[in-house]
């Protein structure tokens, strides 16, 4: 039964992390390069600009759900299962989210890289 | 990509893996959380390992947000996966742990994936949204 709970936690972590990542990426794209913005307007202006983004707070909300779900999962399973399983699945869900919601150019090279990293993470934890 | 931007990606790798490891260490102290008392997860926030882990994850979050401000999500995530390789290599050469053929294959696959994505463009360029002036010009043409 604990095994089922662990996978439910992994599922919730993956979905929430993907939603959080996509929303944060959307917010940061709208804000622009933080390094350049800081050079032009100063550090305080960067903080004000970042904190005025609603998409960012939506992203942080989903990241918080992913964090607590991960924490509960870690109390039932080892990091060697929770970490890579959620990370590997998050790579794929993020690539899908980035393509359809952020309209990123996820070409063959990026899909292949995502699949390589995802399979590599799974292999790294099998033994 | 400038050296400063590569440093930001390195910070994402270091803070992310350190934060996860510290959280796992803390949750070992806290013990299993009963499914009927999930709210007990908040007691974990008093554990010092979890607190340091959260501080590391705050560092991860700020460097991650900075990285996403100059690169695509599908660039940042695979590029920072090199952390798994670093941890595996540290365990082999520092802790003298045995690494099986499967793990070496995993390391090779991650390295190929990171190399592939790092060799490509870091940002998708979207055409600027048409303004009222540009629409008027297009209509005239």
CB contact (8 A) between residue B68 and residue A24: yes
Scored b (16 or more CB within 10 A) or e, B63-86 reads: bbbbbbbbbbbbbbbbbbbbbbbe
Q: Is the ipTM of this complex over 0.85?
A: no
Predicted pLDDT at A65? 93
Give me the helices (H) in A32-102, please.
34-41, 43-51, 54-76, 79-100
Using the Cβ of B38 and the Cβ atoms of chain A, whether some distance falls under 8 Å is answered with yes
pLDDT, one tens digit per residue, over B45-104 is 888 988 998 999 899 888 988 888 888 888 888 888 787 777 777 777 766 777 788 888
Q: What's the whole-model pTM score? A: 0.74
Using the Cβ of B58 and the Cβ atoms of chain A, whether some distance falls under 8 Å is answered with no
Give me the helices (H) in chain B, please.
3-30, 48-70, 73-79, 82-93, 101-119, 132-140
Residues of chain B with Cβ-Cβ distance to A6 below 8 Å are: none
In this prediction, residues B114-139 reach a mean pLDDT of 68
pLDDT, one tens digit per residue, over A8-46 is 888 999 999 999 999 998 998 888 888 788 888 888 888
Q: How far is A114 from chain B (nearest CA, A)?
A: 6
How far lies A92's CA from each of A37, A98, A116, B36, in Å?
A: 31, 10, 11, 32
Residues of chain A with Cβ-Cβ distance to B72 below 8 Å are: 25, 98, 102, 104-105
Q: In chain B, what are the domain boundaries?
A: 3-140
Q: Which of A23, A28, A62 to mutate to test the interface with B (most CBs of B within 10 A)?
A: A28
Q: How far is B85 from chain A (nearest CA, A)?
A: 9
């Amino acid at each position: 039964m604990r095994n089922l709970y662990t996978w439910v936690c992994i599922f919730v972590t993956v979905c929430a992390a993907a939603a959080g990542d996509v929303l944060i990426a959307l917010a940061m794209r709208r804000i622009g390069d933080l390094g350049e913005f800081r050079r032009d307007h100063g550090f305080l202006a960067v903080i004000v600009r970042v904190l005025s983004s609603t998409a960012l707070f939506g992203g942080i909300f989903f990241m918080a759900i992913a964090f607590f779900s991960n924490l509960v999962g870690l109390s039932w399973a080892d990091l060697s299962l929770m970490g890579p399983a959620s990370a590997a699945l998050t790579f794929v869900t993020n690539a899908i989210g980035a393509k359809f919601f952020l309209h990123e150019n996820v070409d063959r090279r990026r899909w292949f890289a995502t699949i390589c990293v995802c399979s590599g993470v799974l292999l790294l934890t099998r033994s | 990509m400038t050296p400063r931007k590569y440093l930001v990606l390195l910070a994402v790798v270091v803070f992310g893996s350190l934060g996860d490891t510290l959280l796992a260490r803390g949750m070992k102290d806290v013990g299993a959380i009963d499914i009927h008392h999930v709210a007990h997860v908040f007691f974990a926030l008093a554990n010092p390992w979890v607190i340091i882990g959260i501080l590391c994850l705050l560092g991860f979050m700020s460097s991650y947000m900075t990285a996403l401000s100059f690169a695509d999500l599908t660039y940042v995530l695979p590029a920072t996966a090199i952390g798994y390789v670093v941890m595996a290599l540290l365990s082999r050469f520092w802790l003298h742990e045995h690494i099986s053929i499967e793990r070496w294959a995993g390391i090779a696959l991650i390295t190929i994936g990171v190399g592939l994505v790092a060799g490509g463009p870091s940002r998708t360029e979207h055409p600027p949204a048409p303004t009222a002036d540009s629409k008027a010009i297009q209509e005239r043409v």
